[in-house]
């Protein structure tokens, strides 16, 4: 065991070797102890480098995921904005539709009243007098009062403007149209048959007003040949 210990201290000769033991002692021999140098590198895996590379890859993947999340948030924001615009358009469409139906109802109501009046005149062959004016004329339009029938001698000398055509687009024009037709008929066609008067009024209807009244008149006048005015 001693020789192993000496070898570990740097002695290269085995003290048990007989030749070494019989060698005479030389006082000039250099017996300085020279330790064996330790290795400068250790042959083992570089763990730190592998961990660093792994962290770099994880960081890259995390950056990619972050970019994808940002893109998704942007797309979601655009979808929300588009949905908000669509909702606003739907609300406007609903409001416009409601307003259009209300205007249509306001236009149809006067026409329905006119149809009812004509229907009552034609049912059972009952003949009625001239078209009646409303019970009261608005104060702002005193000149539109219905004139009473005039003698035939005076009818030819009076020249009234013909009524403007009525398309049913404005409710307030329905009363004006009715007054104008009544005045014109009383002055120019007071003694004509009621059928002629109805055909005259119909000739001044157009658009929605004419389309609304036409099916009723076709049914009521299917067996009657209108007379020329």
Q: Where are the alpha helices (DSSP H) in the chain?
A: 2-8, 18-21, 47-122, 152-155, 172-188, 194-203, 207-220
The pLDDT of residue 193 is above 90: no
The answer to the question of residue 165 being in a domain is: no
pLDDT band per the 50, 70, 90 thresholds, residue 229:
very low
The answer to the question of residue 52 being in a domain is: yes
The answer to the question of residue 42 being in a domain is: no
Residues spanned by the domain of 204: 171-222
| Model pTM score | 0.32
Give bridge partners of residue 166 from the DSSP assignment: 205
Residue 205 DSSP SS3 = strand
Instruction: Using the structure block, give the residue that is written with the tokens 């007989």.
Output: 18
The answer to the question of residue 63 being in a domain is: yes
Residue 41 DSSP SS3 = coil
- As given in the structure block, the two tokens for residue 62 are 């995390």
- As given in the structure block, the two tokens for residue 163 are 């009524």
Higher pLDDT, 126 or 5: 5
Of the three residues 96, 117, 138, the one that is the final residue of a domain is: 117
Of the three residues 72, 102, 117, the one that is the final residue of a domain is: 117
Residue 190 DSSP SS3 = coil
Q: Tell me what pLDDT residue 153 has.
A: 44
Domain total of the chain: 2
The answer to the question of residue 185 being in a domain is: yes
- 22 burial (CB, 10 Å; 0-12 / 13-18 / 19+) is exposed
The answer to the question of residue 125 being in a domain is: no
pLDDT digits over 1-51, tens only? 555 555 555 555 555 555 554 555 566 666 665 666 655 555 555 767 888
Report the share of the chain in percent with pLDDT over 90. Answer: 8
pLDDT digits over 174-187, tens only? 888 888 888 888 88
CA torsion through residues 149, 155, 157, 159, sign: positive
The answer to the question of residue 154 being in a domain is: no
């Amino acid at each position: 065991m001693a020789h192993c210990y000496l070898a570990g201290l740097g002695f290269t000769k085995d003290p048990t070797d007989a030749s070494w033991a019989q060698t005479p002692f030389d006082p000039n021999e250099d017996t300085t102890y020279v330790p064996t140098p330790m290795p400068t590198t250790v042959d083992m895996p570089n763990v730190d480098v592998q961990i660093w590379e792994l962290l770099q890859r994880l960081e890259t993947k995390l950056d990619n995921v972050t970019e994808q999340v940002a893109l998704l948030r942007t797309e979601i924001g655009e979808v929300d904005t588009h949905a908000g615009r669509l909702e606003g358009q739907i609300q406007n469409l609903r409001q416009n539709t409601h307003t259009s139906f209300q205007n249509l109802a306001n236009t149809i109501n006067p026409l329905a009243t006119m149809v009812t009046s004509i229907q009552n005149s034609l049912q059972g062959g009952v003949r009625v007098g001239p078209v009646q004016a409303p019970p009261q004329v608005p104060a702002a339009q005193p000149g539109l009062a219905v004139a009473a029938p005039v003698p035939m001698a005076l009818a030819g000398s009076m020249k009234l403007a013909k009524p403007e055509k009525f398309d049913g687009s404005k409710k307030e024009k329905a009363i004006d149209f009715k007054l104008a037709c009544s005045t014109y008929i009383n002055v120019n066609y007071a003694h004509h048959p009621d059928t002629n008067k109805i055909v005259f009024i119909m000739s001044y209807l157009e658009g929605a007003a004419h389309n609304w009244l036409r099916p009723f008149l076709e049914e009521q006048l299917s067996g009657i040949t209108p007379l020329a005015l």
